């Protein structure tokens, strides 16, 4: 069967690279004695696909993986895994998905990032209005080809602010993967370039990963099927 799981990566694990995260998950699968399936060939590996790649330095509220395994109740899987995962990482939801369901990599095309910002003389509302009003936001790519400039504006779907006592939390929904991949560090540049410097940023993390269809954003385990 194929199983899709939603999990949390706590702040204590934010420095792990993607490969480290994968090893952590594979080791947990072995400790929990999950009946995972192995690939064929000389170098068999667990049929685990980490669908979402969390950038180093960020923690994540809702990340996802798919796993192929021998039939087992999803609830049992979750309990067995949560008993052995390190503190800071828990599976929150999991469900069997039908064979042929497109991979997470193919489906996920939006992500929401949160920036926790210390209150200061900066008017965040104005800065955000200014960002949204711009027809084009050109940044130097942080990806493989660094000489390329890319326009982030069409990939910024929405920005909201939550105001609390001493802080404000800015949530940004952006396009990821195809057709336009906005990297977290590129997004960070958009803010730091407008005076929201690193000293004011108390924390940042990824809120979640979404499948965008038109104006609708749904989480990978939200809608059945």
Partner 1 sequence: MKDRIIKDILPRVSKPARYTGGELNMLKKDWEKSKIKMVFAFPDVYEIGMSHIGGKILYGLVNETTNHLMERSFAPWPDMENLMREEGIPLYSLESFTPLNRFDVVGFSLQYELSITNVLNMLDLSAIPLRAKDRQENDPLIIAGGPVSFNPEPFADFFDVFLIGEGEELLPEFLDCLEQNRGLDRKSRLLKAAAIEGVYVPALYSVEYNADKTLFKMNPADPSVSARVRKRVVKDLDSAYYPMKPIVPYMEIVHDRVVLEVMRGCQRACRFCHAGVVYRPVREKSINVLKNQAECQLQSTGYDEISLASLSTLDYSGVDRLVKDLVKTYGDKGVGVALPSLRVDAFSIELANEVQKVRKTTLTLAPEAGTQRLRDVINKNISEEDLFKAVEAAFGSGWNSVKLYFMLGLPSETEADLDGILELLARVRSIGNRLSRRPVEVRASLACFVPKAHTPFQWRTQNSIAQLEEKRRYMVKQKMRSIKLSFHNSETSMLEGVLARGDRRLGEVIYQAWLNGCKFDGWSEYFKYEQWMEAFTTCNIDPTFYVERERPYNELFPWDFIDTGVSKAYLYEENVMATTGLCTPDCRQVGCLSCGVCPELEVNLDLKEEG
> Is 26 a residue that touches partner 1 (CB under 8 A)?
yes
Comparing CB distances to partner 1, the nearer of 145 and 198 is 198
Joined tokens for residue 6: 């939603």
User: CA 206, CA 174: separation in Å to the nearest integer?
Assistant: 11
> Is 20 a residue that touches partner 1 (CB under 8 A)?
yes
> Is 45 a residue that touches partner 1 (CB under 8 A)?
yes
Contact present, 82 and 24 (Cβ < 8 Å): no
Comparing CB distances to partner 1, the nearer of 88 and 154 is 88
Per residue in 118-151, is it b (16+ CB within 10 Å) or e — as a string?
eeeebebeebbeebeeeeebebeeeeeeeeeebe
Instruction: Tell which residue, 105, 197, 186, has the closest CA to residue 144.
Output: 186
Which residue from 18, 23, 154, 162 is in contact with partner 1, where contact means CB under 8 A? Answer: 23
> Is 15 a residue that touches partner 1 (CB under 8 A)?
yes
> Is 42 a residue that touches partner 1 (CB under 8 A)?
yes
Which residue from 3, 9, 13, 200 is in contact with partner 1, where contact means CB under 8 A? Answer: 13
Contact present, 29 and 81 (Cβ < 8 Å): yes
Site for partner 1 in 83-142 (CB under 8 A): 84, 86-87
Which residue from 3, 5, 28, 111 is in contact with partner 1, where contact means CB under 8 A? Answer: 28
Least distance (Å) between residue 31 CB and partner 1: 4
| CA–CA distances in Å: residue 146 to residues 17, 50, 171 | 21, 26, 26
User: CA 193, CA 195: separation in Å to the nearest integer?
Assistant: 6
| CA–CA distances in Å: residue 125 to residues 1, 41, 118, 152, 174 | 47, 55, 14, 19, 18
> Is 189 a residue that touches partner 1 (CB under 8 A)?
no
Query: Contact region for partner 1 (CB under 8 A) — 1-9, 41-49, 75-83, 111-119?
Result: 41-49
Least distance (Å) between residue 152 CB and partner 1: 22
Query: Contact region for partner 1 (CB under 8 A) — 22-30, 59-67, 130-138, 159-167?
Result: 22-30
């Amino acid at each position: 069967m194929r199983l899709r799981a939603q999990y949390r990566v706590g702040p204590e694990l934010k420095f792990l690279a993607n490969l480290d995260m994968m090893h952590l998950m594979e080791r947990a699968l072995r400790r929990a004695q999950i009946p995972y399936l192995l690939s064929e060939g000389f170098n068999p590996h667990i049929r685990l696909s980490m669908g979402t790649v969390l950038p180093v330095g960020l923690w994540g509220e809702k990340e996802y993986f798919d796993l192929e395994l021998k039939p087992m109740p999803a609830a049992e899987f979750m309990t067995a895994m949560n008993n052995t995962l390190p503190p800071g990482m828990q599976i929150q939801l999991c469900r069997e998905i039908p064979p042929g369901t497109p991979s997470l990599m193919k489906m996920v095309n939006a992500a929401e990032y949160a920036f926790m910002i210390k209150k200061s003389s900066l008017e965040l509302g104005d800065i955000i209005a200014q960002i949204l009003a711009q027809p084009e936001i050109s940044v130097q790519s942080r990806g493989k080809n660094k000489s390329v400039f890319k326009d982030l504006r069409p990939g910024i779907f929405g920005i909201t602010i939550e105001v609390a006592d001493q802080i404000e939390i800015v949530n940004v929904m952006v396009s990821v993967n195809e057709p336009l991949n906005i990297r977290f560090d590129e997004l960070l540049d958009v803010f730091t370039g407008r005076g929201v410097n690193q000293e004011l940023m108390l924390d940042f993390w990824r809120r979640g990963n979404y499948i965008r269809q038109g104006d609708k954003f749904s989480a990978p385990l939200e809608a059945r099927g």
